[in-house]
């Protein structure tokens, strides 16, 4: 077996988290690129969940006002290939945000189909989907691409709510792994 790639930082963070928080599962790394970065199985190996991991370091954007930064825990930026998202063989995509200010990563765990549908609703019809996700101190996850500074401020301060931009239901959504853990 000749390794074709190495584990990247996001995969390492997800793997460490799963091993620390879910004691009754096994974690597997594929030896070739199949569109699945991690495979998690129940202890008896009868049930499994496949994961595709997408990593973003924190973006402390200089144009963001200091007042808005106080309401945010992390900012992430990704570019997704629309076709790869739609055709993903993974059960779930895990978007990893690693904030500069803290050591603890944040995870957005969702089915690729649900993510693709959300971007369709946001009229992201290009081949390459650009997305910015913010996690606020109040534990909301907001998609902010294309918003004005004032609108972003209203979101992070909690005075504006637009469900299509709210990704909070997927923030730290480890239910798929929890079901294997029992």
Residue with the two structure tokens 């792994």: 177
Average pLDDT, the chain: 88
The pLDDT tens digits of the residues spanning 82-111 come to 999 999 999 999 999 988 666 789 999 999
Q: For the chain, what's the residue count? A: 182
95: DSSP letter: E
Q: With the C-alpha atoms ordered 39, 22, 170, 150, is the resulting torsion angle positive or negative? A: negative
Is the entire prediction scored with pTM above 0.95? no
In tens, the pLDDT along 113-162 reads: 999 999 999 999 889 999 999 888 888 999 989 888 888 888 878 888 88
Confidence (pLDDT) at 173? 97
Nearest CA-CA partner of 30 in 90, 120, 115, 112: 90
Structure confidence at residue 66 as a pLDDT band (50, 70, 90): low
């Amino acid at each position: 077996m000749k390794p074709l790639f190495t584990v990247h930082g996001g995969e390492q963070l997800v793997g460490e988290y799963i091993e620390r928080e879910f004691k009754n599962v096994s974690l597997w790394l594929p030896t070739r690129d199949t569109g699945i970065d991690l495979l998690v199985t129940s202890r008896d190996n009868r049930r499994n969940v496949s994961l595709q991991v997408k990593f973003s370091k924190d973006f402390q954007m200089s144009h963001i006002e200091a007042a808005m930064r106080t309401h945010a825990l992390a900012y992430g930026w990704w570019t997704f290939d629309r076709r790869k998202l739609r055709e993903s063989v993974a059960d779930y995509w895990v978007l990893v945000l690693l904030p500069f200010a803290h050591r603890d990563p944040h995870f957005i765990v969702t089915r690729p189909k649900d993510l693709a549908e959300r971007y369709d609703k946001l009229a992201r019809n290009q081949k390459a989907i650009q997305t910015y996700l913010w996690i606020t101190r109040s534990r909301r996850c907001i998609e902010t691409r294309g918003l004005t500074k004032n609108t972003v401020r209203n979101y992070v301060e909690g005075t504006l709510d637009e469900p299509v931009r709210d990704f909070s239901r997927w923030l730290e959504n480890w239910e798929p792994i929890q079901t294997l853990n029992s």
